[in-house]
Structure 1
Amino acid sequence: MAARLSFIVGVIGNIISILVFTSPIKTFSRVVKKKSTENYKGIPYVTTLLSTSLWTFYGVIKPGGLLVATVNGAGAVLQFIYVTLFLIYAPKDKMIKTAKLFAILDVGILGSVIALTLLAIREDVKLTFVGILCAGLTIGMYASPLSVMGMVIKMQSVEYMPFLLSFFLLLNAGIWSIYAVLVKDFYIGVPNAIGFVLGSAQLIIYSIYKNKSKREKSIATMEEEGSATLVKGVVEMGAFDNGDEEGGGGDDVKSNKSLNKGHSLPKPLLKRLYSMPQQIVKSLSLNSYQIDSTWVYPHENDDHLSS
């Protein structure tokens, strides 16, 4: 009964894991369309490639590890495609950093672990050695989006945090935690339990800043619409004034001009604006008492200018 239940949970885990591995397809379709990686980071895909490759190796050397090997093998193929696309469309500096990381982790470390396990480690220790490495890398895979979470909090925008990836990572961690309990596999259970906690944190942050992003976009849209309306009104007023001048003037033209002159700004404000530069220049030669009296009682200067 326990073996059958673990097999069913494992199959469900395979399905969810495939959904996790395919969730960045939307992200990379945008990257290919724009021919730019924008603010996306390559670290999650490089680390996930190493993790899935090692889990595939773990499933191969573990008795009864078929479900672990098949799903992670498929995931490794997809992650390799994502890393390749990232290297193609990333800016030069980001591409060089990601390529170095890929060479170190997915070529150097992966090859060394496989060679060391097959050639130098005793048979009874192989599974433990690879299992510990897989557990550590899985924790790193779940923790790698923390850099994206920091950017979301800083920018107060979820534009560069893919919701599907965070959601399916949470489901994936939960189902594989259950599977680990059923088959009593410590190396699968611990990292996925941690991943479940981190996945929950990502969704909480997403729900918080999703509404803020929408609100900021709506404010920006309103400002753009208001600016467009203002520009349109100025253009229409200019066209109206030009039409009146071409029509030969008259009382309407004079009234419009007087309206523009008389009501564009309040008269006291016009006087203040006119007198302010003179007050600044004059204050350079005044003592402290005179400066205070000049700025505290500006209406006296206004009266003097108007007389």
Structure 2
Amino acid sequence: MPRRPSGINDLDLAIYGHIAEGGELTLSEISRLSGRSKGVIFRHLRKLSALGVIEVREVGGVLLASPSRSPRRVIAMGIMRAAEYPYVLGILRGLRDIYGPVRVLVYEDAWREAQDLLSGRIQLAMVPALTALVANRLGGGRVQIIGGGSGGGMGVVRGTGGSGHAVVRTSNTELCAERLGLDGPRSYFGGPGDILGALVSGKVHEGVLWEPYLSMASASGLRVEQCEIEHCCLLSANSGVADQYGKISRIAAAAISSARSADLQAYAKLVDLPVQLVESSVRGYSFHEAPDVAYLERMLDAARRALLPGSSVRDAVVA
């Protein structure tokens, strides 16, 4: 959809998301998934059909809705579950002016997010800087950093027992661990909640976390040390939307410039985090309208060590 019509609303976007995920769905199935009456859903299906993003047909008295076989361009955006991106609401509004409905996927594993960006399952994402650089190299340029993002908001949590440290693989958490010289062995977890659980249970002695999980750890009585990361996540894109890079970058810069006035309640709902926790922990972040290329170049040596720590060979070789 070239522009978002003024009448489109959140229910339209939710309905489209169900259809995009499910393929072909009946009116009853969409009603159940959306929690709205079939009459309401029917009116919204007619609107989406008129916009050309879905097809509606009747088979044996059953109304079926499916993604259009010749759809107008609809995109998906990934973000990490963090207090980091209150400005993403502004980015989404701008993207809807270009594309119409935009699906949002929330991740806890940075590398999984990067894989989806590489494959084209999502077209845009707020990706940790280290992860984005790796994805660019492995994907032959299919992933590129096209905008700014956030900095700070990351640190090391020290537990009362255990040994070694915990990180999320191929992310800035590994860069932080390398910078602070954390004792091995290094253990890899699927997300910040798993790391926090391992710290509390004494499975590891140290873990690298981001906000609001740092604040949660501190509230649990664990010691926290900040890790100075100038660029945490940056706006990255699949090259399939390269024709809109300039416009998307400008949208992002404008949204980031207004980050301090963003609607934190709406953002907390988007990432499924308590609003009070987001309000208190977002102060740990700085916001940058454009990526600092010089900083990214300075971090390369530490990034190489982070990606291939001393244990890499023994972890990889089983012969």
Give the TM-score normalised by structure 2. Answer: 0.22
Bigger share in helix: 1
Give the TM-score normalised by structure 1. Answer: 0.22
Instruction: Pick the structure with greater CA Rg.
Output: 1
